[in-house]
Amino acid sequence: MIKKRLPHHEKPSTSEPPDSNSKNSSILESLKNLMTGSTTDNKENSVSDSEQLRPSEIKAQSVSSKLKENEQYIRNIFKNCSDIILREIKITSNQDYSAIFVYLDRMVNQDLVEEAIVKKLVSQPADTTHLPNIKDYVQYLLGIRPEDIYEKMDEALNAILESKVVIFVNGVNAALIIDFKSPPSRSINTPETETSLRGPREAFIESIQTNIGLVRKRIKNINLKIEPFQIGRQTKTDVSICYIKGIAHDKIVNEVRERLNKIDVDAVLANTYIEEYIEDSPFFIFPTIFRTERPDIVAGKLVEGYIAIITDGTPIVLVVPYLFVDSMKATDDYYLKYISGTLIRWIRSIAFFLTLTLPGFYVALLTFHQELIPYGLVTTLIKSRAGVPLPVMWECISMLFAYAILKEAGIRMPRVVGSAVSIVGALVLGQAAVEAGLVSTLTVVVVAFSAIAALTTPTPEMNFYLMPPRFMLLFLGGTLGMLGLIGGIMILFVNMISARSFGVPYMAPLAPLMKNELSDAVVRAPFWSVLKRSKLITRTQSTRKKPR
C-alpha cells in the first residue's frame, strides 16, 4: 500500500459502508483477522482500534478547532492502547492557549520532547504576552514545515503511529507534526554472517533510517534517490527503494516500483515477505534477489546500477537484480589484490560445482562405473566399503541427512549447549560411525567435503538452496549412473539459464555470453582496467571513468 492509503477492513457488526467490497469478502477479511488474532477484545465498542474503523469515517473527520473534541476523538480511537501519551500544556503559560501533544511511549526521543517542545512552548517570550496568531507562533517557534501541518484526522493518526509527535492547539483546526522518531533499536554492530577479512565492519540494523543513513554516508550524491513505500495492511511497514538515477536502468526501477505496489499483505515483518512477492520465478531453486547485511556491498551495488530495497525492521537489505555470477563474488575479492582475488573466485566456483555434484558423482562411480575409478583408488575404495551394510547411495543420503540435521541443530541450539552438539557431531557421526562399520571412510570424506564446499559461497543462504539439487543429483547418480547425473546437471543448467532476475538473464554474462561483461564475472579485473559499467544492469553504455 502506498502511504496515506488506509486499508479497507471493517467489522462485521458495523453496517456495510458504501465504499467497501462485497459483503462476502468483508466477512472473510474479518474472519482472517479473527484467526490471526489481530482484532482486539472489546468488540462491543464500534471504534475499538484504528484498524477496525471505517476508512471513510476517519477520512471524513477533520481536525477540530476545539481541543477537547480532538482529545476526546484520539482517546476514543486509542482506547485500550496504554502506550499512547497525551499531554496538555499551556503555551507561554497562558491559560487561554492550551495545547495537547500526542505520541507513542518509547517511540520518540523523550529528552527532545521535553527540551524542544515543552520548554519552548511553555516559557514566556520576553517581549509580549499577547499572541495574535497562535498557529504561526507554534509553527515558527518549533520550525514545522508547512507540509507537516495536517487538517485531516487520518493523517494525524498515521503520524502518531509512525512515532511522530502530534500537537493540537486549541483554536487551530490543524495538527502539527514534529518528527522526533526514535523507536527502540540496537546500535550498529559488526556483520555476523557475511564476515570479511579487511572490509568495513558495519552492518545494517533494524531501523530503516539508520540503514538509509549507512548507505547515504557512502554515496554523497544528489542522484541517490530514496523512494518511500508503505507495505502491510496491519504493520504498515516502511519500505524504501534506493537507486542512483542515471545509472540504474529506469525500466528496472519501474518494475521494482510496480511489483512493490502490487503487494497486498497483512504483515511485513521481514523483507523475505517482500522477496517472495516480487521474485521473477517462484519455483526457481536459487535466489534471484540478493540479500546482504553489509552497507558497503549495497553501496557498491548501487553505483553499479543495482537497486536496493530497504525494509524497516530487518537488518537485511535486498538488492536486485541478482545474477549467478554475483553469487560467486565476495566483498573480499575487492579488498584483495586482483590476482589472488580472481583465484579465490575460481576456487569458489569450483567448490560450488563440487558441492552440487560430488556426492552424485561418487555414488555413480561406485554403483555403475567401476571402470572409471582410477586404478590407485580402487584398492582404497574397496577396502573402505567392505562390510558397510547400506548401499553407497543410501549411505550418502543418510550422511547428508545427518549433516543437515546437525546444521539445523547448530543454528537452533542455545549457545550454551553448543559444544555438546559439536562433540556428538564430530565423534558420533564421524569417527564412531566409521569405526563401527556403519559408513565408509570415503563417504564421510565426500559428504564432509561437499558440506564444507557449500560454505564457501558468499551468500549464507546458498547453503540451504544447494541442498535440494544436491540430493536430486545424488539420487539420479545412484539410480541412473553417469547418465542420470549428467541429465540432472543439464536440467539444472537449463533451469538456471532460463531464469531471469527483474528481466536480466540469471546466467548472464555467461549465458548469453557477453564478452565485454566478463571482466568482473569470470575474473576480478583490476579496478583501473574496468572502464565501463556493466551494460547488463544499466542497459546503456556508460563509462565509469575516463581512460587514462
Partner 1 sequence: MKKAIAFCIIPMMMLLSAGCVSKNEIENSAIIVAFGVDTTADGKYMVSTQILKTSKQSSGSGDGSSKGEKQQSDVISLASTGSTLSDALDHLSKQLGKKLVLSHIKFIVISEDVAKSGVAGLIDFTAREYQMRANIVILVTNGKASEIIKTTTPIDPVPANAIDSILNLQARYGYIPVITSLDFFNLLGSKTAAPMAGVIRLYEDEQQGKVFKLTDIAIFKKDKFIGYMTDEEAVRGVQWIRNKVKAGNIVIPLSGKDQVTIQLISANSTIKPIMKENKPAIKLTVQNKGNILDMTGDFDPMKNPEILTEFEQMENEIIKQEIEKALSMAQTTFQADIFDFGEAIHRDYPKEWVELEKNWSEVFPELEVEVEVHSNIKRTGVISKPVY
Residues at the contact surface with partner 1, assessed by CB under 8 A: 366-368, 370-371, 373, 375, 378-379, 381-383, 385-388, 391-392, 479-481, 483-484
HEC states along 162-215? CCCEEEEECCCCCEEEECCECCCCCCCCCCCCCCCCCCCCCCCCCCHHHHHHHH
Smallest separation, CB 386 to partner 1 (Å) = 5
Smallest separation, CB 323 to partner 1 (Å) = 25
At 314, list the grid cell.
530487518
Give 108 or 366: the residue with its C-beta nearer to partner 1: 366
At 197, list the grid cell.
577479512
Give 82 or 375: the residue with its C-beta nearer to partner 1: 375
Distances in Å between the Cα of 113 and the Cα atoms of 134, 167, 406 are: 19, 11, 51
Smallest separation, CB 376 to partner 1 (Å) = 9
Give 263 or 491: the residue with its C-beta nearer to partner 1: 491
The residue written with cell numbers 553407497 in the block is 392
Give 122 or 388: the residue with its C-beta nearer to partner 1: 388
Cis peptide upstream of residue 512 (ω within 30 degrees of 0): yes
**Count of CB atoms situated within 10 Å of the CB of 511:** 14
Smallest separation, CB 370 to partner 1 (Å) = 5
Give 386 or 411: the residue with its C-beta nearer to partner 1: 386
Q: Give dist(CA 526, CA 520) in Å, integer.
A: 9
Smallest separation, CB 213 to partner 1 (Å) = 45
Cβ 81 vs Cβ 114: under 8 Å: no
Give 81 or 388: the residue with its C-beta nearer to partner 1: 388
Angle 120-175-95 (CA atoms, 0-180°, nearest 5)? 50
Cβ 174 vs Cβ 149: under 8 Å: yes
The residue written with cell numbers 536459487 in the block is 286
Smallest separation, CB 506 to partner 1 (Å) = 19
Smallest separation, CB 445 to partner 1 (Å) = 15
Give 400 or 476: the residue with its C-beta nearer to partner 1: 476
Cβ 291 vs Cβ 271: under 8 Å: yes
Give 437 or 512: the residue with its C-beta nearer to partner 1: 437
Q: Give dist(CA 313, CA 235) in Å, integer.
A: 11
| Sheet arrangement for strand 175-178 | 84-90, 98-104, 165-169, 175-178, 149-150
Q: Give dist(CA 436, CA 157) in Å, integer.
A: 68
DSSP H helical ranges for 263-337: 271-278, 295-304, 324-327, 331-335
Give 283 or 337: the residue with its C-beta nearer to partner 1: 283
Smallest separation, CB 481 to partner 1 (Å) = 7
Q: Give dist(CA 155, CA 143) in Å, integer.
A: 19
**Count of CB atoms situated within 10 Å of the CB of 383:** 12
Smallest separation, CB 352 to partner 1 (Å) = 24
Distances in Å between the Cα of 36 and the Cα atoms of 28, 32, 33, 40 are: 12, 6, 5, 11
Smallest separation, CB 540 to partner 1 (Å) = 36
Smallest separation, CB 143 to partner 1 (Å) = 60
Give 263 or 438: the residue with its C-beta nearer to partner 1: 438
Give 18 or 389: the residue with its C-beta nearer to partner 1: 389
DSSP H helical ranges for 441-534: 441-454, 462-465, 467-498
Smallest separation, CB 227 to partner 1 (Å) = 36
Give 177 or 442: the residue with its C-beta nearer to partner 1: 442
